[in-house]
Amino acid sequence: MKHFPVLFFLIVSLNSCVYAQQSSGVLTLEDIWTRNTFADEGTDDIRSMNDDECYSTMHYTEQGKLLILKQNYFTGKITDTLFSQEKASVPALITGYEFSPDESQILLTTGHEKIYRHSFKADFYLFDRKTKSVSPLSAGGKQQYPLFSPDGKKVAFVKENNLYIKDLASGKEDQLTSDGKVNAIINGASDWVYSEELDFDRAFEWSPAGDKIAFYRFDESDVREYTMPVYDSLYPSLHRFKYPKAGEQNADVRILVISLPEKEITSIKTGDEKDYYIPRMKWTRNNNLLAILKMNRLQNRVELLIADAESGQCHTVHTEKSETYVEITNDLFFLKDGRHYTWSSEKSGYNHLYLCSLEDSSETALTHGNWDMTQFYGIDEEKGVAYYQSAEESPLQRHIYSVHTDGSGKKKISSAPGTNDAEFSRRFRYFVNTHSDANTPEDIAICRPDGRKIRVVADNASLCKTIKLFHINKKEFFSFKTSGGIMLNGWMIKPPGFDPSNKYPVFFNVYGGPGSQTVTDSWDSRSYLWHQLLAQKGYIVVSVDNRGTGARGTDFKKCTYLRLGEIETADQVEAAKYLSSLSYVDGKRIGIFGWSYGGYLTSLCMTKGAPCFKAGIAVAPVTDWKFYDSIYTERYLRTPKENEEGYEISSVLTYTGKLEGSLLLIHGTGDDNVHFQNSAELVKKLIASGIKFDSFFYPDKDHSIGGANTRLHLYSMMTDFILKNL
């Protein structure tokens, strides 16, 4: 994310206030999407430094040159300029950086080139803080995911699907693998589906002593290709990439360990199964022991394997099973004592953190209760204290807690109601608390580990003042009980000058996918402002978290297993009926909008849920789960062969003949995630049924449908559709 100096924000905020004072206080789409009317301050990418007293931040000059500054946690004082692009010969815009372990070198990212939603390649430069010299990491093509060795003397990286290392003293570049090939073999980087659904891109790790590298090898040779046209020339080109759909062949995945400098490769023996996932890999504190999470294709069994890096032999130290599926997290952490590790599990019915023994099966529950731990921040091993975030007070809120590693002494260390998130310094001496609520932008403060606030980094005071100049009604929370006795949570924004004796149309915002939430006491940025704009135009804007969503335990979250869309649609229909019962709601004018899984639910609500909704906008929807990827889809539905009825029930295409009301279908033709095929198939079915609808496509745009003027165009079109049809 691009960050700007404080002076820039002051200028933007000043201009925003002047604009607002000159306006009528009525929001426009230009305010939200093209002007800087609602610019926020951000956090300037705070990164803890080795001394645990300071952090680094990125700033840009007005000329777009990068500054990396060192600031004191306690005082906020800038103590050093760690890098200045104006004084260093780096030719391009710098978009990121990483320190070497001793912070003597800085790896700079330029020429960022997006591959898919999370993955990218770039040109990297090494900056030596002592000599002030700058040198390219590698020549002959862009690189991916460079990582310093533990001693900082080497950098490993991926280039053209092969793994390389560079010796920084000699400048020698060494190629470690040679079989990498596009759409066939990937060494050290993840394939499409691992990147999207298992949330990692760099697929290699240095051993603690830096004499070994463990890495993933993906063999995609037998995975079927998906082809997308790219409208870039007189004759459009074709983009081909490997995408395993539900029930189809996945890549063959292996873990290899290469010993340096001999380049001897050991294959880790993870078992005889051929159809499984390796969602995580990390070194223990022992230089010869590698931890691997192995998950079966059904994703209802996960084993923690400890592998001997020299022999490749493994043994299982922990197994987690579920009647549905096991969630994969980043909560695995090995303690310095070499005997314990942390593990999060939903086996109690709620997600909680455990301290487990590597030597036997004993474990200690660090958290427990009828609430979900939502994030694990780490352990201060010197004090024996673990830090985490949870929804203990409410599914709508998030607070930060500490607890001793024996499970005693739990303490809430965040105080403000709403949503709190923490980023701790290296040795847990400080943390940055980012707080917001449903109607208040983020404020960022430096705190002591006991929660005492030291100072405010950013409070977005200017943005708050700007918001007050517009006709904004606060987001209000509500709950209601369905006909089946289930309590659901929602929020509502009423029009300015709301009169309960009048009748108002209602516009739903929905996502509703497994484990997600739209109903939280947190700032929703531009979506919040668009909803306020619709409220100014006379609509009540609403969102309801159906069953299947998160922070309410496993029974609530996993009840949609094997039959996606059925319960979720029923709950959104129940919400529409509940709102229709309110004296100030026009029950004949209820609309719905959603993106991705929300587009899927919108499509179901307009068909299977008819006639409750008068109008709907479905953006980039899944319309049949057989078109979506293997990992996500099978986690909730298993394979099409195993659950034919579930796929039929879950498909929008099953219900197209029931469509009532006005539907606007939107998709990007370059969507590598939810393929344009989903909307094309829905259009074919609607045409075959003789049903009228509206549709719009964005050439070459991916799942986010953004860039340049695109978002303004998209939201202008959607707003016009709502005004016309609702």
User: What was the pLDDT predicted at 3?
Assistant: 34
* CA separation for the pair 200, 218 (Å, rounded): 14
User: What was the pLDDT predicted at 202?
Assistant: 98
Mean pLDDT by 10 residues, the chain (726 residues): 35 43 79 93 84 96 94 97 94 94 98 93 97 95 97 98 97 97 98 98 98 98 98 97 98 98 96 93 98 98 98 97 98 97 98 96 96 98 98 98 98 98 98 98 97 96 95 96 98 97 98 98 97 98 98 98 98 98 98 98 98 98 98 98 98 97 98 98 97 97 95 98 98
Which are the contacts of 1, defined by CB distance < 8 A and separation ≥ 6? 42, 45
The pairing of beta strand 504-510 with beta strand 487-493 = unpaired
Q: What six digits make up the tokens of 245?
A: 């759909």
Is the four-CA dihedral 532, 533, 537, 542 of positive or negative sign?
Answer: negative
* CA separation for the pair 574, 546 (Å, rounded): 10
Own/partner long-range contacts of 153-156 (Cβ < 8 Å, ≥24 apart): 153/210, 154/210, 155/107, 155/126, 156/188, 156/204, 156/206, 156/213
Which are the contacts of 432, defined by CB distance < 8 A and separation ≥ 6? 43, 46, 422, 423, 444, 445, 446, 447, 457
User: What was the pLDDT predicted at 1?
Assistant: 30
User: What was the pLDDT predicted at 43?
Assistant: 64
Is the four-CA dihedral 230, 235, 240, 243 of positive or negative sign?
Answer: positive
Task: Say how many C-beta atoms besides its own lie within 10 A of residue 521's C-beta.
Answer: 20
Q: What six digits make up the tokens of 95?
A: 């978009």
State pTM to two decimals.
0.95
Which are the contacts of 170, defined by CB distance < 8 A and separation ≥ 6? none
* CA separation for the pair 532, 438 (Å, rounded): 12
User: What was the pLDDT predicted at 273?
Assistant: 86
**Cβ–Cβ under 8 Å, residues 27 and 536:** yes
| Rounded (5°) CA angle 269-182-1 | 95
* CA separation for the pair 573, 219 (Å, rounded): 45
- Give the H or E element holding residue 154: strand 154-159
Q: What are phi and psi of 460, to 5 degrees?
A: 50, 35
User: What was the pLDDT predicted at 691?
Assistant: 96
Q: Which of 538, 535, 555, 556 is nearest to 547 (CA)?
A: 556
* CA separation for the pair 405, 403 (Å, rounded): 6
Superfamily (CATH) of domain 474-725: Alpha/Beta hydrolase fold, catalytic domain (3.40.50.1820)
Q: Taking the domains of the chain in order of start, what are their residue ranges? A: 176-321, 330-437, 474-725
In the numeric block, the tokens 């709403």 are attached to 418
- The architecture of the domain spanning 330-437 is 6 Propeller (2.120)
Supply the residues annotated as catalytic. Answer: 596, 671, 703
